[in-house]
Amino acid sequence: MLKNSFHCAFVLVYGVHGRDEKIQVWEELSYIAGLCQVPCCFMGDFNEIVHVEERRGSAGLTRSAEDFKIWIQDMNLVDLPLTDRKFTWFRGHSCSRIDRVLVSLEWLEEFPEAHLRGGPRGLSDHCPLIVEGPLGRWHKANFGEIDKKITKFEEEIKKIDDMVSNGVYDGTLEARRKALVKCCERWYMRKEVHWKQMSRSRHVNDMDKNTRYFHNIASARRRNNRIDSLVINGRLVRNQARIKIAIREFYKELYH
C-alpha cells in the first residue's frame, strides 16, 4: 500500500485449532513480518481470545490464549478495539471474539484515525471486520442514502446478536434475524448494482475500444491471481510446482 510514500503490508489470517499448530502460525507470522520489513496490519480469524470476557461463559484463559497474548506483546502489536459489539463469532448460544485486527505502532502512527467495527454476519458464523478511516467520510458523503437503509437493518441484526451475547436465544429471534437479513440483502444488491453502473460508465469513457483492452484486463487478472512465492516450513519458495503441491497438501490436511 502506498500513502504519502508510506509502505505497509496487510496479512490476512485464518487461525487453526490445536495449541501446537497455533504456535507454529504465530511463528510464521513473525517470519512474514520480518520478510516484509514494513509496518504490518494482521487481520482475520485468529481463532483465539486474549481476555476472559471475549468468550461468553469462560472462566479463564487457556494456555494457547496466553501464548497468543505473549506473541502480541513480543511483536509490539496494537489490538484495535472493537467499537460496536462484544463478540464476532456466534454458534447457537456460544459467542466469542476470535476475529481481530492487530497493527504495528508505525502503522497506527500513520493512520491514527483508524478504528474497527463489525459488519453484519448474515448467515455466517463470523462478523466481518471493517477498518475505517478518512475514506469512510468520503464513502458516507457519496453513498449515504443507500448506506442509511443498510445501516438500519444492520443495527436491528446487531440488537439480536447482542441479545444472544447476553444469553437470550430462541427460535423466534433466529427467524427474525433471517427476515432482517433478507431485507438487508436487497439493499446490498442495489448497492452492488450502483457500483457496477459507476464502473461501467467509467470504462466506457476511458477504455480503448479494441481487443488490447480486454487482453490487458485478462492478463491483469492472471497476474493478480498468481502466487509467485510462498513461505513453506519457514523457507521462501518460488518454484511453481512446489507451491502447487504445498497448497494442495495444506487443504487436503485441513479438510481431511
CA–CA distance, 248 with 255 (Å, rounded to integer): 11
Confidence band of 225 (pLDDT split at 50, 70, 90): low
177 Cβ contact partners less than 8 Å away, ≥ 6 residues apart: 157, 160, 161
CA distances from 222 to 28, 93, 215 (A): 27, 43, 11
Averaged pLDDT, 45-55: 94
pLDDT > 90 in the chain, percent: 27
- Cα–Cα distance measured from residue 211 to residue 218, given in angstroms and rounded to the nearest whole number: 11
Given this model, what pLDDT does residue 2 score?
45
Give the DSSP H/E element, type plus range, for residue 247: helix 240-254
Can you give 72-100 as a three-state secondary structure string? HHHCCEEECCECCCCCCEEECCEEECCEE
Residue the block writes with cell 441479545: 163
Written as nine digits, the cell of 188 is: 446490498
227 burial (CB, 10 Å; 0-12 / 13-18 / 19+) is: exposed
Residue 73 — φ and ψ, nearest 5°? -65, -45
pLDDT band at 3 (very low <50, low <70, confident <90, very high): very low
- Predicted confidence (pLDDT) at residue 139 exceeds the cutoff of 90: no
End-to-end CA distance of the chain: 36
- The band of 214, judged by pLDDT with boundaries at 50, 70 and 90, is low
Spans of all domains in the chain: 1-132, 145-206, 215-256
CATH of 1-132 among 3.40.50.300, 3.60.10.10, 3.40.50.720, 1.20.1530.20: 3.60.10.10
Q: What is the pLDDT of residue 137?
A: 57
The yes-or-no verdict on residue 88 having pLDDT over 90 is: yes
Q: Which three three-digit cell numbers place residue 160?
A: 439480536
Measured between alpha carbons, how far is residue 175 from residues 91, 124, 137 in Å?
15, 15, 34
Quick check: pTM over 0.85? no
